[in-house]
């Protein structure tokens, strides 16, 4: 039954996102498209369909009795992460500017009295992450909870940092999701993978449904979609053992600090393998 729920969540997330994609894209183009990095008009933020699919997927499957969990807070934590990070990203998409970037840029502006949407996203993302961890732990806040909350928040930030070219953020999410799936499969077999996918498989389904529009440059993922996908990845990391969660946090902190000093885009362009993966399926520049 758990495996059926996992597959159902993935399929439902894909169907919801695919069903909404055409309507959302049409509405956004009517309201006014934005120009992407090649000055091509795209529906923005088309990635709105991603959190919708990721949230409505498990709700629909759950309503049909397809998702049964032994921990009441697990689905609640997942939904909180998707809604919270999707909303934080939507605020940044609608009201944010490009004058500042990175933690240093946003907090530097704050120190000078300028309150940016990036700062709002940091605080809201932190609160959402801690809330999700507490739903899972059902215990008073401790150092371990703060570390786990940082895993979720930094995962969302990392996928968001990749959203600079069509398909790049979703490819990063898919690669991360594939690596985690392999870990759960090797650790607990089918049961471990099913536990991860139920309910997080809906985020995978939503990402797959939106992927062609993102690569084809008809719609832009935006912070709304990339934050939600990154949050979903962070939620999956929380299902790992303590040692692996700590290792993940170290890597995420290192990547976040590195992003303040260098451009991930340049790193990708300078590496033959990463450049090939990045440009795969995308129109030639």
Look up residue 47 and give its DSSP letter.
G
Mean pLDDT, residues 14-27: 76
26 pLDDT above the threshold of 80: no
For position 81, what pLDDT does the model report?
96
Residue 87 tokens, joined: 């909303």
For position 158, what pLDDT does the model report?
95
For residue range 164-214, list pLDDT tens digits in order. 999 999 999 999 999 999 999 999 888 888 888 888 889 999 999 999 989
Domain range annotation of the chain: 2-279
For position 113, what pLDDT does the model report?
59
For position 1, what pLDDT does the model report?
46
**Spatial CB neighbours of 54, under 8 Å, sequence gap ≥ 6:** 13, 17, 82, 86, 202, 203, 205, 206, 228, 229, 232
For position 198, what pLDDT does the model report?
81
For residue range 217-268, list pLDDT tens digits in order. 988 899 999 999 999 999 999 989 999 999 999 999 999 999 888 888 899 9
Residue 146 tokens, joined: 């703060």
For position 207, what pLDDT does the model report?
95
157 pLDDT above the threshold of 70: yes
Mean pLDDT, residues 72-97: 87
Q: What are phi and psi of 100, to 5 degrees?
A: -120, 150
Contact present, 153 and 129 (Cβ < 8 Å) = yes
For position 104, what pLDDT does the model report?
57
For position 253, what pLDDT does the model report?
95
For position 171, what pLDDT does the model report?
97
Average pLDDT, the chain: 84
The count of C-alpha atoms lying within 13 angstroms of the C-alpha of 17, restricted to the half-sphere facing its C-beta, is 34
Mean pLDDT, residues 95-106: 60
Q: How confident is the model at residue 69 (pLDDT cuts 50, 70, 90)?
A: low
In whole angstroms, give the CA distance from residue 10 to residue 40.
31
For position 232, what pLDDT does the model report?
96
For position 138, what pLDDT does the model report?
66
For position 40, what pLDDT does the model report?
85
Percentage with pLDDT > 90 across the chain = 46
Q: What are phi and psi of 43, to 5 degrees?
A: -75, 125
117 pLDDT above the threshold of 90: no
103 pLDDT above the threshold of 70: no
Q: How many CB atoms lie within 10 A of CB 272?
A: 8
129 pLDDT above the threshold of 90: yes
């Amino acid at each position: 039954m758990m495996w059926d729920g996992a597959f159902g969540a993935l399929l439902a997330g894909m169907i919801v996102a695919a069903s909404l994609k055409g309507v959302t894209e049409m509405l956004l183009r009517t309201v006014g498209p934005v120009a992407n990095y090649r000055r091509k008009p795209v529906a923005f933020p088309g990635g709105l369909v991603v959190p919708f699919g990721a949230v409505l997927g498990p709700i629909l499957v759950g309503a049909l009795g397809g998702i049964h969990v032994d921990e009441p807070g697990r689905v609640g934590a997942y939904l909180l992460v998707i809604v919270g990070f999707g909303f934080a990203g939507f605020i940044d998409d609608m009201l944010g500017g490009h004058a500042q970037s990175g933690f240093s840029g946003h907090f530097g502006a704050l120190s000078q009295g300028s309150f940016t949407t990036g700062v709002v996203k940091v605080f809201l993302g932190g609160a959402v992450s801690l809330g999700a961890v507490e739903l899972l732990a059902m215990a008073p806040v401790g150092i371990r909870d703060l570390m786990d909350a940082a895993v979720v928040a930094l995962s969302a930030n990392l996928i968001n940092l990749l959203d600079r070219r069509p398909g790049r953020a979703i490819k990063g999410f898919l690669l991360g999701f594939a690596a985690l799936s392999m870990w759960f499969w090797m650790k607990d077999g089918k049961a471990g993978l099913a536990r991860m996918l139920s309910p997080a498989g809906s985020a995978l389904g939503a990402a797959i449904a939106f992927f062609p529009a993102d690569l084809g440059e008809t719609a832009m993922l935006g912070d709304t979609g990339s934050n939600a996908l990154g949050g979903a990845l962070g939620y999956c990391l929380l299902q790992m053992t303590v040692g692996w969660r700590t290792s993940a946090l170290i890597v995420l902190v290192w990547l976040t600090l590195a992003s303040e000093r260098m451009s991930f885009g340049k790193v990708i362009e300078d590496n033959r393998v990463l450049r090939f993966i990045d440009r795969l399926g995308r129109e030639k520049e």
